[in-house]
């Protein structure tokens, strides 16, 4: 369940938008009293356009949206105590979270709360944000009730303007790849000719390009540590200035090379997919799943905040 403070900010975002006339329903849809579209059978994702920062209102809600945008684009500098890698949120969510093939931010607010099989539970958007902090950023959880979390959620609510609740489930996904398996040796050669100019010979990143392995990279618990997910990201988005020039097999080869390299551990990773059903290429063991080509791990201390526990019921006095 979302915190009341974060919900208040998010509802203020959509209420402000609705008051400005941006949340008007279409012929077959409806708008709640908050301005959020709640049903729209005729909604067409291909016709929707993500709102821009130029349209953010100049009020307290707009200030929260702008702060959230700044946190997502400069995460490691803005929140160094919560981020251990040299990645920002927009290192994966490219073009400030607007590139369609790189998990865009638009519409994400309308998809939560949702069930996530990796957690085995229905989770709020704040937990999804913290999966990125603990896994992709190799850091620790950002408190749900913090102003920073509220600002991030406010930004997600703003860029989800016009997307009906429960719609757009496929909008934020990196496209699936045909099943394949890469060759690390071929991948090493492609990496040197195609990737090293930005990410470095040692994978540590150069300037704004993030580390792909080593102590400042994403953890083994990140989706990008899976060969298929990494291959899809490479296939559709890399090289950054010439996306799509690699074949499916070349993308798999690069992914095999990168995911074989040392990276930070994720304490508690063995509890992922508690109901079973982990994808075949998950590189660590979970219930009913054997680790797939696990890389060397850089230890991380299991301290409060290094992983996101699934939601739990409130204990009742005298409950059996």
What is the sign, positive or negative, of the torsion defined by CA atoms of 300, 70, 115, 173? negative
Any residues with CB less than 8 A from the CB of 28 and at least 6 apart, and which?
A: 40, 41, 42
User: What are the C-alpha distances in Å from 294 to residues 3, 81, 236, 261?
Assistant: 37, 28, 24, 9
3-state secondary structure of 71: helix
DSSP-derived pairing of the beta strands 37-39 and 30-31: antiparallel
Residues of the chain with CATH 1.10.760.10: 4-40+50-159, 184-298
Which of 7-16, 87-96, 293-302 is the least confident region? 7-16
Label residue 170 by pLDDT band (50, 70, 90): low
Pairing of strands 114-116, 121-123: antiparallel
Write down the number of H helices and E strands in the chain: 10, 6
Mutual orientation of helices 227-237 and 248-259 as an angle, nearest 10°?
Answer: 130
Which of the four pLDDT bands, split at 50, 70 and 90, describes residue 280?
Answer: very high
Could you tell me the pTM of the whole model? 0.86
Q: How confident is the model at residue 44 (pLDDT cuts 50, 70, 90)?
A: confident
User: What architecture is domain 184-298?
Assistant: Orthogonal Bundle (1.10)
Is 60 exceeded by the pLDDT of residue 274?
yes
CATH topology classification for 4-40+50-159:
Cytochrome Bc1 Complex; Chain D, domain 2 (1.10.760)
Banded model confidence at residue 317, pLDDT cuts 50, 70, 90 = low
The answer on pLDDT for 145 being more than 70 is yes
Q: Is the pLDDT of residue 31 over 60?
A: no
pLDDT at 213: 98
Confidence of residue 173 (pLDDT cuts 50, 70, 90): confident
**Statement: residue 32 has pLDDT above 60:** no
For 215, counting Cβ atoms within 10 Å of its Cβ (0-12 exposed, 13-18 middle, 19+ buried), the class is middle
Average pLDDT over residues 136-164: 97
- Name which residue leads in pLDDT, 26 or 157: 157
pLDDT given for residue 122 in this prediction: 96
């Amino acid at each position: 369940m979302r915190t009341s403070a974060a919900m208040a900010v998010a509802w203020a975002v959509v209420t402000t938008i609705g008051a400005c006339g941006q949340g008007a329903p279409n012929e077959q849809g409806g708008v709640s009293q908050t301005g959020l579209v709640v049903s729209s059978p005729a909604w067409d994702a291909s016709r929707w356009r993500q709102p821009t920062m130029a349209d953010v209102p100049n009020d307290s809600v707009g200030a929260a949206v702008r702060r959230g945008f700044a946190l997502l684009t400069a995460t490691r500098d803005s929140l160094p105590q919560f981020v251990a890698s040299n990645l920002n949120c927009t290192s994966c969510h490219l073009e400030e979270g607007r590139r369609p093939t790189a998990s865009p931010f638009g519409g994400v607010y309308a998809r939560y709360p949702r069930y996530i099989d990796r957690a085995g539970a229905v989770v709020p958007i704040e937990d999804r944000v913290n999966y990125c902090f603990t896994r992709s950023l190799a850091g620790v959880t950002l408190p749900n009730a913090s102003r920073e979390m509220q600002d991030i959620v406010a930004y997600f609510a703003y860029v989800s303007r016009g997307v009906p609740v429960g719609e757009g489930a496929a909008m934020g996904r990196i496209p699936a790849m045909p099943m394949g398996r890469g060759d690390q040796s071929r991948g090493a050669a492609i990496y040197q000719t195609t990737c090293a100019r930005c990410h470095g010979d040692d994978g540590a990143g150069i300037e704004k390009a993030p580390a792909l392995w080593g102590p400042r990279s994403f953890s083994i618990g990140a989706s990008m540590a899976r060969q298929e997910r990494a291959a899809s990201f490479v296939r559709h988005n890399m090289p950054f200035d010439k996306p799509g020039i690699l074949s499916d097999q070349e993308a798999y080869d690069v992914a095999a090379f990168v995911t074989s390299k040392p990276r930070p551990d994720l304490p508690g990773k063995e509890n992922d997919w508690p109901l079973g059903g982990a994808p075949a290429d998950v590189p660590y063991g979970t219930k009913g799943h054997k680790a797939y080509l696990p890389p060397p791990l850089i230890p991380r201390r299991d301290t409060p905040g290094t992983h996101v526990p699934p939601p739990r019921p409130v204990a009742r006095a005298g409950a059996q």
